Amino acid sequence: MAETDFDVVVIGSGPGGYVCAIRAAQLGMKVACVEKRATLGGTCLNVGCIPSKAMLQSSEKFSEARHGLAAFGVKVGNVELDLPGLIAHKDKVVADNVNGVAFLFKKNKIEWVKGAGKVRGAGTVDVALNDGGARTITTRNIIIATGSDVATLPGITIDEKQIISSTGALALQSVPASMVVIGGGYIGLEMGSVWQRLGAKVTVVEFLDRILPGMDGDVSKQMQRILAKQGMAFKLSTKVMAAKTGKAGVELTLEPAAGGTAETMTVDVVLVAVGRKPYTESLGLAEAGVALDDKGRVKTDAHFQTSVPGIYAIGDVIAGPMLAHKAEDEGVAVAEIIAGQAGHVNYDAIPGVVYTWPEAASVGKTEEQVKAEGIAYKVGKFPFTANGRARAMAATDGFVKVIADKATDRVLGVHILGADAGHLIAEAAIAMEFGASAEDIGRTCHAHPTLSESVKEAALAVDGRPIHI
Ligand code: FAD
Ligand code: NAD
């Protein structure tokens, strides 16, 4: 093979792209990463996971200081919101994270090519440099890691002021009095929670008859009840037909999902959170012969190779859940595959976490899925009301639910609604990765007093023998 500039060129520096670049460099390859954004880290670090979690953390503390401390015997004076301070905290967290990736690139001798990459064909990437001019790079392997972009609704134009996407929701200059969130998924509930805690009256409009449609039905139902108690309103089985901006706010026209009489409501801000779409714009994929699937995602085989040998794709731009850790694991796997190793991602054990209060976390199959697949199963459930640590934390909302195969007891899915569910789900993911049975979890010693004892108890409940209920 002719001499090339690089062994690997990654297009996009999100959690898929930057992690892939680092792993490839660790494996001795000469790596470049093409990124057009002014900072590294992609959606996740710049306008996704990290800033949203910073704002969730701040708003949670504000809400707790205002409403939650008296229960612990702590009296506070007048609690005030410093929104510019909150945004500054978020911006600093983002800056620290994106600079961290730049440091890791230097440490691993990865070249950041600053500009927009276009695939000319196997082995060649053309870059329109951010500073002007162009550069053509030759490489043995190309990894497409260009991620995703906000999905929009027909007839609704996002102006990032009155009608906003998640990006606008991370940068509002004042707390709106009222907000409609279109979509009761991850972003709708997380960013809806942030602005609700800061004082907005939030209404979630969801097309389906339940929020969090991908999660276990018990989690969705109870999550809705808890969020409603916090003051969030829900309009399920409802579609937004039109949104008109004006001086008085945004006038929305809503209709029952199945059709029927329309109603209107006027709010200050509308957040559109109806999903994300793969980002393949201006990448030259059609000309290069890289095939897409019917949903516009780059089509890949089991080894992340596209329809063109030597061109791979990972992360949000391919099929599968649009989650940062899924993108990261694919980045590691494809680097290892290119290096001749057996890179692999276990799609049956990818956790998902909604960082509301309480959190919802899930790994493996939901009860609806095992039913639909005709699998004989057993369920063990344990409520946090029966957990000593949860009582001490005044965080007794929620439960742990373990679903196991009826014949083999193998864990098929774990679903947690409760404080710190996002951390608790890690043990379930490891258990599933190792093919554990519910009994394995139930017989493992869990520290007392911790919330994790509820995971053990739910596993014991699969066999009808929890101790504390
Ligand atoms: P991305 O992170 O989207 O990165 C792609 C990069 O490619 C971008 O920087 C883009 O500028 C660059 N790019 C695109 N085209 C080109 C080109 N032609 N040339 C050069 N560069 C290009 N997931 C979680 O797991 N946990 C969370 O808590 C979470 N919270 C989220 C909150 C919000 C508000 C949003 C929007 C998303 C959240 N996600 C979360 C999803 C997560 O951000 C994505 O799954 C993840 O970023 C996907 O990583 P990626 O590497 O595939 O792509
Ligand atoms: P989502 O897929 O989680 O939720 C979209 C919701 O909008 C669904 O409930 C869907 O039924 C509903 N919907 C779709 N069309 C609608 C319409 N016309 N009217 C009303 N409701 C409609 O998508 P999202 O919340 O926009 O987030 C995008 C992606 O980003 C998600 O897929 C998720 O993987 C990722 N994300 C993850 C996290 C996390 O891991 N904590 C946080 C934020 C975003």
pLDDT tens, residue by residue, 20-68: 999 999 999 999 999 999 999 999 999 999 999 999 999 999 999 999 9
The residue whose two tokens read 């409802």 is 238
pLDDT at 179: 98
- Would the CB of 48 count as within 6 Å of ligand 1? yes
pLDDT at 1: 55
Beta pairing partners, 201: 178
The Cα 39–Cα 268 span in angstroms is 32
Taking residues 90-117, report their average pLDDT: 98
**Gap from CA of 322 to ligand 2 centroid (Å):** 10
Quick check: 380 and 460 in contact, CB under 8 A?
yes
- Would the CB of 324 count as within 6 Å of ligand 1? yes
**Gap from CA of 17 to ligand 1 centroid (Å):** 9
Q: Whose CA is nearest to atom 15 of ligand 2?
A: 274
Q: Whose CA is nearest to atom 4 of ligand 2?
A: 185
Tell how strand 269-272 and strand 178-182 pair up.
parallel
Q: Whose CA is nearest to atom 9 of ligand 1?
A: 42
Q: Which ligand is nearest to the CA of 16?
A: 1
Q: Whose CA is nearest to atom 27 of ligand 1?
A: 49
Q: Which ligand is nearest to the CA of 352?
A: 2
Q: Model confidence over 347-368: pLDDT tens digits?
A: 999 999 999 999 999 999 999 9
To the query of whether residue 448 is one of the catalytic residues in this protein, the response is: yes
Quick check: 293 and 303 in contact, CB under 8 A?
no
Nearest ligand 2 atom, CA 354: 41
pLDDT at 141: 98
Q: Which of 47, 227, 276 has most ligand 2 atoms within 8 Å of CB, for mutation?
A: 276
**Gap from CA of 366 to ligand 1 centroid (Å):** 26
**Gap from CA of 461 to ligand 2 centroid (Å):** 32
- Would the CB of 145 count as within 6 Å of ligand 1? yes
**Gap from CA of 257 to ligand 2 centroid (Å):** 17
Q: What domains can be seen in the chain, in order of their start residue? A: 6-149+277-345 (3.50.50.60), 163-274 (3.50.50.60), 349-462 (3.30.390.30)
The Cα 50–Cα 226 span in angstroms is 25
Q: Which of 220, 274, 416 has most ligand 2 atoms within 8 Å of CB, for mutation?
A: 274
Q: Which ligand is nearest to the CA of 184?
A: 2
> 424: closest CA among 380, 466, 363, 377?
363
Nearest ligand 1 atom, CA 331: 51
**Gap from CA of 149 to ligand 1 centroid (Å):** 8
pLDDT at 123: 97
Q: How confident is the model at residue 374 (pLDDT cuts 50, 70, 90)?
A: very high
Q: Is residue 385 over pLDDT 60?
A: yes
**Gap from CA of 322 to ligand 1 centroid (Å):** 9
pLDDT at 266: 98
The Cα 350–Cα 439 span in angstroms is 21
Its pTM stands at 0.98
Distance between alpha carbon 185 and the CA centroid of its chain, in Å?
Answer: 10
- Would the CB of 322 count as within 6 Å of ligand 1? yes
Nearest ligand 1 atom, CA 316: 52
- Would the CB of 62 count as within 6 Å of ligand 1? no
Residue tagged active-site, from 67, 303, 448, 468: 448
Q: Is residue 421 over pLDDT 80?
A: yes
- Would the CB of 17 count as within 6 Å of ligand 1? yes
SS (H, E, C) 206-226: CCCCCCCCCCCHHHHHHHHHH
DSSP string spanning 43-75?
Answer: HHHHHSHHHHHHHHHHHHHHHIIIIISGGGT--
Q: How confident is the model at residue 408 (pLDDT cuts 50, 70, 90)?
A: very high
- Would the CB of 116 count as within 6 Å of ligand 1? yes
Above pLDDT 70, what percent of the chain? Answer: 100
Q: Whose CA is nearest to atom 38 of ligand 2?
A: 186
Ligand 2, CB within 6 Å, residue ranges: 153, 182-188, 190, 205-208, 213, 239-240, 273-276, 321-323, 353-355
Q: What ranges make up the beta strands (E) of 304-458? A: 311-313, 352-354, 359-364, 377-383, 399-405, 411-418
Q: Model confidence over 145-180: pLDDT tens digits?
A: 999 999 999 989 999 999 999 999 999 999 999 999
Structure tokens at 223: 């999550």
Taking residues 103-132, report their average pLDDT: 98
